[in-house]
Chain A
Amino acid sequence: MTSWFLFAAATEGGLFDLDATLPLMAIQVVLLTFILNALFFRPIGRTVEEREGFLATSRADAKQKLAQAQRLEADLTSQLKEARQKAQSLVVDAEQEMDRLYRSALAAAQAEAYASREKARREIDRESKLALDQLVADADRLGDQIVKRLLAAT
């Protein structure tokens, strides 16, 4: 342990001993710059920038796809709504149709029943009238005969 700070006090050595180390170190660092540029900065930069580009394009792609999907979804939803409405109106139509058919069938059946009942009643009326007429005629004839026999007897 001599002195710690040999500020170039000796003929050789010292902290501020400048010599050919300086330019050689500079050349070495310049060479290192070129080597690192070729081995590190350029390939890594290319990789990172390619990835950034890839991410940007995939993002744009995904956004576009999402928009397309949303458009499709809205489209399908409106179609579905339309179809539901159509189905609903079809059901209503069918119900009305059925009701109408039922009513007309019922009316026809009622009318037919009424008609046949009417006809039967007219038949009965006609027969009873006929029978009544017959009876009246018979009664008249019998009355005449009775009258004739009584008159004859007296």
Chain B
Amino acid sequence: MVPLPFSLPFAALEVGQHLYWQLGGLKIHGQVFLSSWLVIGALLALVVAGTRKLERDPSGAQNLLEFLWEYLRDIAREYIGEKAYRDWLPFIGTLFLFIFVSNWGGALVPWKLIHLPSGELGAPTADINTTIALALLVSLAYFYAGLSRKGFRYFEYYVEPTPIMLPFKIVEDFTKPLSLSFRLFGNILADELVVAVLAFLVPLIVPLPVMFLGLFTSAIQALIFATLAAYYIGEAVHEEAH
């Protein structure tokens, strides 16, 4: 192996290593929480800056926030329906914003400049714990949405249009969170890995197209997650026209 004349600062690649924090008897991944706090901080800073004084003629950050609000409202209204979307807009919107800012934060913030004793900072959504947490929240949300709107009539959904659907619908309840969490996790982790491997092999120029592709994927994944969450909730609150 020919030794390089200078040591590359970005060359190390660590996957599956975590910065462990002890919390009582529980272990948690510190790097995920650190980066998620940064994401949440950025979101809150934007929101506070944009809503400090709301005007009828919007200016500055209020424009951006109104655009985001209308975008998210359209998603929620389209998939949940006119009647119930108002209750679920904050949830869908928070999912989208959190995942989107996490993904882009993972791709755009130069995390490597911050050294941790173990593991490395990155998108919170590149950790399976985060994506499973989000997917389980979606499962809870659609069960709650269905039960609170229709009561036990919600379970009619499992035998509609025919009781043959029952096993498939039950399996669906397990595959929905599984596919949601693994889709997001896989896409974001794969993107980070591809960029890291390319940067490890060719540090200049070459990773750039993949980085742009990664930004695109990140945005799409946030949209897909939020859209599917809205769709599942909409399916749960949907009233059959008898």
Contact = CB atoms under 8 A, between A and B. Distances in A.
Contacts, number: 134
Contacts of B134: 25-26, 29
B17 A13 contact: yes
Interface stretch (B44-52, B109-117, B148-156, B166-174): B44-52
Nearest to A22: B129
B198 interface: no
Contacts of A41: 69, 89-90, 93
B112 to A, nearest CB: 15
Contacts of B28: 19-21, 24
Contact of B56 (A1, A7, A32, A51): A51
Interface stretch (A42-50, A90-98, A105-113): A42-50
Nearest to A19: B27
A10 B132 CA distance: 21
A41 B91 CA distance: 10
B90 A33 contact: yes
B47 A36 contact: yes
Given A21-B127, A45-B69, A32 B13 contact: no
Given A25-B36, A40-B51, A44-B65, A17 B16 contact: yes
Given A20-B26, A24-B33, A35 B44 contact: yes
Nearest to B73: A45
A43 B44 CA distance: 14
- Determine the main DSSP class of A at the interface with B: helix
Contacts of B38: none
A21 to B, nearest CB: 4
Contacts of B73: 45
A48 B36 CA distance: 29
Given A19-B26, A19-B129, A41-B89, A14 B66 contact: no
Contact of B51 (A14, A19, A21, A39): A39
Contacts of A12: 20
A96 B161 CA distance: 93
A43 B18 contact: no
Contacts of B90: 33-34, 36-37, 41
Interface of A: 1, 4-8, 10, 12-26, 28-30, 32-37, 39-41, 43-45, 47-48, 50-51, 54
